[in-house]
Chains A and B, each alone.
Chain A
Amino acid sequence: LPWETMPDEELAKSYLKSFYNFREDNGSAVRRALSPLSQKLSEMQRFFGLEITGTLDPATLEVMRKPRCGVPDGKISAFS
């Protein structure tokens, strides 16, 4: 789907999979204080200087919808 027509959560998951190595099911049974989605959102928010909420707030969505370079911010060297 084009980015602008994706539901917000789907957009966020797709974005975080592309640029923050987000995996929906990591197979871990350990109870986490923060969901993997929330952790990755926090990572992204920290990089962009957004308020770190771990939630999909309007400012975070706004950044996700902007045109950008396709190289992941976190695992960039994995390309090579």
Chain B
Amino acid sequence: IFGDNLKWQKKNLTYRWVDPHRRLRPAVLLGEDPIENYSPDMSQAEVDQSIEMALQVWAGVTPLRFSRVFSGTADIMVSFGRQSHGDLYPFDGPQGTLAHAFAPAPGIGGDAHFDEDELFTFRSEEGQCPHLDAGVPETLGGAPEPVCAATGYVLFLVAAHEFGHSLGLSHSSDPGALMFPIYTHSNPDSFVLPQDDVRGIQSLYGPNPEGPLGPGPEPPTTPDACDSKLVLDAVTTLRGEIYFFKGRFLWRRHTQSSIPQQSLIANFWPGAPDEIDAAVERRSSDRVFLFKDRQVWAFRGYDLVAGYPKSISSFGLPGAVKKVDAALLDEESGKMLFFVDRMLYSYDEATETLEPGFPQRVDRTFPDILGRVTAAFEYRGFAYIYSGPVMFEYSLGSKRLFRLLDNSYFLTCT
């Protein structure tokens, strides 16, 4: 929340679309009705629906209620504008700043402005960026494109964030929060206000006295590296760093730094799935593979490799395998190990086939691992194999167990 604890002192708030240039002209303020201003990228109905949905995000968890007015000054005046648009905080053209809003106060307080130079959309299919889904040729590299710039920013998501400011929320440093200052693409149809935002807004206004309208998903929380019971979805090396996956999130840690950096998977690879099953790096071809259910995605840097996602059968796994629990690649021997339930599959990178004698029980190769493997990776000739919050350190050459460790060994609690 803002340092001055800024909030509205009433529960019923009004909002209105208005052209900000016109609003500042005295003639307009003296009675001439402003012209309503809509984004040229979307239909009027789509803009209306996006704004109403964005306000309902906050109404759903507080006593606040919103009603639209079509004349006069509303508490929350909403407009599209470009460059200098009358509030001394000019927009910057395409990309960069998408929108801004003012904290609760009379006058300009509560107002939300959207940068008309951005391409806004109602929704994108499947919460992904269609232009990235087709993949890019493997030879292309370079800097990543801004997230979904080619298909547009979902107005609902941007508006819901801005209305958080309009109601008194500052920025959150939780990368999973709606109030995190960086745009994160997600599917508006399945959006649920994260726990951090719920706690923030309810600290100002309290909960919705009517309670939730029906059974719905719990507000999502952000995984905590300091949680000793944390069970990671997957772990892999990538270009000299270690990546730890959990839900929608990943932590990346450079091996020469002790501080992990948390982000959303979608911010790295907009076409990648959340809640992956396994991840593995193949350094020889500079690729990282992400496994989920029966599919595998390959990325080179930020780019999806052409032809992916593919079936996990492309790694020789039989059709009976529904998902991979963990994977690691021993670059020295060229063997990719897949953990599936209590079984181990070994894929020979040279022959591109499963090794004879596999699958076999995991504890035949790694005798101390009796539980289900949840994640695994190779680092400096050692296999690090997770079973829940416990991590086994094996020499890959001798398969000898060296140490039992926990998450915090690599994923430090800061």
Measured CB to CB, the residues of A under 8 A from B are 2-4, 18-19, 47-52, 59, 63, 65-71, 73, 76-77, 79-80
Query: 25 A-B contacts, Cβ less than 8 Å apart?
Result: A2-B94, A18-B92, A19-B181, A49-B173, A49-B262, A51-B257, A51-B261, A59-B261, A63-B182, A67-B98, A67-B147, A67-B182, A68-B98, A69-B158, A69-B161, A69-B165, A69-B183, A70-B91, A70-B97, A70-B98, A70-B99, A71-B165, A76-B2, A77-B103, A79-B100
B residues in contact with A18, CB < 8 Å:
92, 97
Known: A49-B175, A66-B183. A3 touches B6 (CB 8 A): no
Judge whether B207 is part of the interface by a CB distance below 8 angstroms: no
With A52-B259, A67-B147, A80-B104 already in contact, 8 other A-B pairs whose C-beta atoms are closer than 8 Å:
A48-B261, A66-B182, A67-B96, A67-B182, A69-B165, A69-B181, A70-B91, A71-B100
B261 touches A67 (CB 8 A): no
Q: How many residues of B contact A (CB 8 A)?
A: 46
Kindly provide the distance from the CB of B356 to the nearest chain A CB, expressed in whole angstroms: 44
Residues of B within 8 A of A59 (CB): 261
Q: Is B389 an interface residue (CB 8 A)?
A: no
Instruction: Report the bound CA distance from A79 to B108 in whole Å.
Output: 9
Q: Which residues of A contact B378 (CB under 8 A)?
A: none
B223 CB to nearest A CB, Å: 13
- A69 partner, pick from B3, B99, B105, B254, beta carbons under 8 A: B99
**Nearest 6 pairs of A and B residues by beta carbon:** A70-B100, A70-B97, A80-B105, A80-B103, A77-B2, A67-B183
Residues of chain B lying within 8 A (CB to CB) of residue A80: 2, 4, 6, 102-105, 108-109
Residues of chain A lying within 8 A (CB to CB) of residue B257: 51
Query: Cβ of B108: which chain A residues have Cβ within 8 Å of it?
Result: 80
Is A47 touching B149 in the complex (CB atoms < 8 A)? no
Contacts of A49 in B (CB 8 A): 173, 175, 261-262
Say yes or no for B236: interface residue by CB 8 A criterion.
no
Q: Using Cβ atoms and an 8 Å threshold, which residues of chain B touch A71?
A: 100-101, 165, 171, 181
The CA of A2 and the CA of B149, in the complex, are separated in Å by 13
Bound CA span A63–B96, Å? 11
Q: With the chains together, A76 CA to B89 CA distance in Å?
A: 12
Whole-angstrom distance between the alpha carbons of A47 and B6 in the complex?
A: 21
A51–B259 CB distance below 8 A: yes
Residue of A2, A49, A63 with most partner-chain B CB within 10 A: A49
- Cβ contacts under 8 Å, B182 to chain A: 63, 66-69
Residues of A within 8 Å of B237, CB to CB, are none
Q: Does B39 reach chain A (CB closer than 8 Å)?
A: no
Contact call A69/B96, Cβ cutoff below 8 A: no
Which residues of chain A have C-beta atoms less than 8 A from B267's C-beta?
66
Instruction: Please tell me if the beta carbons of A47 and B173 are within 8 angstroms of each other in the complex.
Output: yes
Min CB distance A65 to B, Å, is 7
Cβ-based interface call for B143 (8 A): yes
- Cα A66 to Cα B95 in complex, Å, equals 8
Partner among B95, B100, B102 whose Cβ is within 8 Å of the Cβ of A4: B95
Chain B residues within an 8 Å CB radius of A77: 2-4, 6, 103, 170
Report how far A76 CA is from B170 CA in the complex, Å.
7
Tell me the smallest distance from the CB of B336 to a CB of chain A, in Å. 29
Are B103's CB and A69's CB within 8 A?
Answer: no
Which chain B residues in 79-116 approach chain A with CB under 8 Å? 89, 91-105, 108-109, 115
Most B CB contacts (10 A, CB to CB) among A63, A66, A71 go to A71
Given contacts A69-B181, A80-B105, contact A48 B100 (CB under 8 A): no
User: Are A69 and B102 in touch, CB under 8 angstroms?
Assistant: no
A76 to chain B, nearest CB (A): 5
**Complex interface: chain B residues within 8 A of A48 (CB):** 173, 261
| Cβ A69 vs Cβ B175 within 8 A | no
B147 near A66: Cβ-Cβ < 8 Å: yes
Q: Most chain-A Cβ atoms within 10 A of its Cβ — which of B4, B105, B181, B261?
A: B181
Proximity string of chain B (296-323) to chain A, C-beta cutoff 8 Å, 1 when within and 0 when not = 0000000000000000000000000000
CA distance A7 to B109 in the complex (A): 35
Whether A3 pairs with B96 at a CB distance below 8 angstroms is yes
Residues of chain A with a CB closer than 8 A to B146's CB:
4, 65-67
